[in-house]
Amino acid sequence: MDSDSNPPLHEAYEMLLNKTRNSNEQSGCDDDKVVVVVVEDTELAVINVRHLAESDEVRREKCKSEIAKASEEWGFFQIVNHGISNDVFSGLRVEREKIFQQTFEKKSKENTFFNFSADSYSWGAPSATCIRQLSWSEAFHIPLTDILGSSESNTFSSTIKEFATEVSTLAKTLADILAEKMGQKCSLFEENCLPSSCYFRLNRYPPCPLASEIHGLQPHTDSSFLTILHQDEVGGLQIMKDGKWIAVKPNPDALLIIIGDLFQAWSNGVYKSLQHRVVTNPRLERFSMAYFFCPSNDTVIRSCTEKSEYRNFSFGEYMQEVRDDVQKLGYKIGLPKFLIR
């Protein structure tokens, strides 16, 4: 990628390094290195979702149970035969290239061609106060309402629209299965998680010569009900299980499903919102794209169980807390703030 396109990550790194050297402030940054922990490269569950369309009920139910079990035990699974065509992904790759190749200056400004607001673009973690909070990456985080609601016609918006239509059906199918396995038949997703309330994110991780020291993306949970993630062949995604980071081997045929905070709150902790992070690569550029299955801002998330660990909250309120914490602290707190004490 052209040097004009890259965000000033090196400068941000130097600045944070100097800041750490010159100050004794701790501010949640007591450990300025990425903690090196055991990484196991295991075979993670791969679920063939074609079975959901089978006439044989036993096979259908078995597949649904696998989905629920993985969401309870891991908060993560991979799916194959998901029905989203390779053509859609090829189209997305072309558009992604175009959008990241623009100059950094252009990316950071309001973009009328792509119809994005300036805050769709982010890089490096702007409110990082120490190196541990720096993410060696850039991203476009796009509210799908900006694209689906626009009459703008260009290859970027038509490719995203096509993807959004296919992926939203998949997301809703998975969410309905998870609700059914909690004994709930509800209209929550049908009524509140419309394609236009969801988000699409394009991530780019430039090669990082300081690989062992910095994250590509700092550890976090997703604020969605669930996330559908596509990663390229480079690798770097790690998930947290029983206190260990586990590397997710790239599988070109699979999509990754990550349970987010809203499902954890809604299921009162039965489904686990998964901590994950991306580690950098010293030589290779990496890309990923994520679809966040989210409700409208005014949707109230209340547990489907009689008693809940979490108080009720609206999605809008939740996101506001997340934004405020990231701004103030450099990182997200998320669900622990909503625990009933």
Question: Interface residues with Fe ion (CB under 5 A)?
Answer: 222
Hey, which residues are catalytic here?
286
DSSP strands (E only) in 30-134: 39-40, 46-48, 76-80, 121-124
Q: Is 239 in the site for ligand AKG (CB under 6 A)?
A: no
The helix, strand and coil proportions of the chain, stated in percent and rounded to the nearest 5, come to 35, 20, 40
Q: How far is CA 335 from CA 125, 164, 197, 249, 259, in A?
A: 21, 27, 20, 28, 13
Count of CB atoms within 10 A of residue 102's CB? 18
How far apart, in whole angstroms, are the C-alpha atoms of residue 74 and residue 287? Answer: 24
Among 138, 146, 176, 222, binds ligand AKG (CB under 6 A): 222
Query: Based on CB atoms, which residue is closest to ligand AKG, 231 or 299?
Result: 231
For ligand AKG, how many residues bind (rule: CB under 6 A)? 11
Residue 221 in the binding site for ligand AKG (CB under 6 A): no
Stretch that binds ligand AKG, among 29-37, 72-80, 149-157, 229-237 (CB under 6 A): 229-237
Structure-token match 């079990």, residue found = 69
Please give the C-alpha separations between residue 13 and each of 122, 134, 287, in angstroms, as whole numbers: 16, 8, 21
Candidate list 125, 171, 290, 301; residue touching ligand AKG; CB under 6 A: 290
237 binds, among ligand AKG, Fe ion, none (CB under 5 to 8 A by kind): ligand AKG
| C-alpha gyration radius of the chain | 20
Closest CB 219 distance from ligand AKG, rounded Å? 10
Residues 106-125 that bind ligand AKG (CB under 6 A): none
Query: Interface with ligand AKG by CB under 6 A: which residues?
Result: 201, 203, 217, 222, 229, 231, 237, 276, 278, 288, 290
